[in-house]
Amino acid sequence: MDLQLKGKTAVVTGGSEGIGKAIAMTLAKEGVDVAICARRKEPLEASALEIVKATGRKIHAITADLTKDEDCKSFIEQAHKALGRIDIMINNAGSAPGGVIEHLTEKDWEQALQLKFMGYVRCLRYSLPIMVKQGGGRVVNLIGNDGVKPSYWEIAPGAANAAGQNLTISLAGQYGRHGVSFCAVNPGPVRTERWAGLVNAMSRDMKISYEDADQLAPRSIPMGRIAETEEVANLVVMLASPLMMMANGTMIEIDGGQDKALMDRFRDR
């Protein structure tokens, strides 16, 4: 199937590694020119060069800290200038600390909401007027299944994710009339650079070994493993296609059918 993406433009936040890098690479393979951002300049530029070499597309690396409104504004403005238009907005940047409420600090909660929620709000605040003016666009928000499958050891990600999911559905109702449609992709566990940190938090909070904690997620998934970044990217790129515009206000989990209750070994039932 031709996804009709060749010649389109996209903005991807958090594009230096993990899911964001995989999305940018997959979009570029489909013929899309992409602007990516991250806080650290060196890995961002290295990822951009890697994608250019693999695909031959134009990849614009723009350093930005999405906890700062002025950086979000600058990123979208620079991306728009470099690309000429913004057909696709992929909000992906940000992570939220795992852990139970006893271990979460004020800084942890602030990080969860600033990056995983407010970073999305800021980028949309500046990209949506561009999309409306140009006659339409597609927004895919990478959020997480913690918002729809709550767990007490991931309470901060769950709160940020639920806010992002509400935002996605609300904006779908507001902007559909302008030709801008929205969907949310909610990954479960994915083998990214930050996976080891999440396992460490589970090990600490559940008082089990790292090795046992690393097996909790795969055992809660019928397919017996966690997802790879490319699998998430494939879904996102399909949903970014003009063919999927009517999937507006839609949320899709990509977690192998995870049953998080199977990870909860200690709570009385």
Name the pTM for this structure: 0.93
Whether 52 is covered by a domain: the verdict is yes
Whether 265 is covered by a domain: the verdict is no
Task: Return the H-helix or E-strand segment holding 34.
Answer: strand 33-38
Contact 142, 133 (CB under 8 A): no
Whether 268 is covered by a domain: the verdict is no
Residues ≥6 apart with Cβ < 8 Å to 164: 116, 117, 120, 141, 143, 147, 184
Domain that holds residue 35: 9-255
Structure confidence at residue 198 (pLDDT):
74
The SS3 call for residue 178 is helix
Whose tokens are 């950086």? That residue is: 71
If one counts the domains in the chain, the total is 1
Residue 231: pLDDT band (50, 70, 90) is very high
- Residue 227 pLDDT > 90, yes or no? yes
Segment 73-90 mean pLDDT: 98
Structure confidence at residue 265 (pLDDT):
57
Whether 213 is covered by a domain: the verdict is yes
Task: Return the H-helix or E-strand segment holding 138.
Answer: strand 137-142
- Give the span between the Cα atoms of 55 and 226, in whole angstroms: 27
Contact 214, 1 (CB under 8 A): no
Q: How far apart, in Å, are the Cα atoms of 131 and each of 135, 137, 153, 176, 251?
A: 6, 5, 38, 11, 21
Q: The CATH number of the domain where 240 resides is what? A: 3.40.50.720
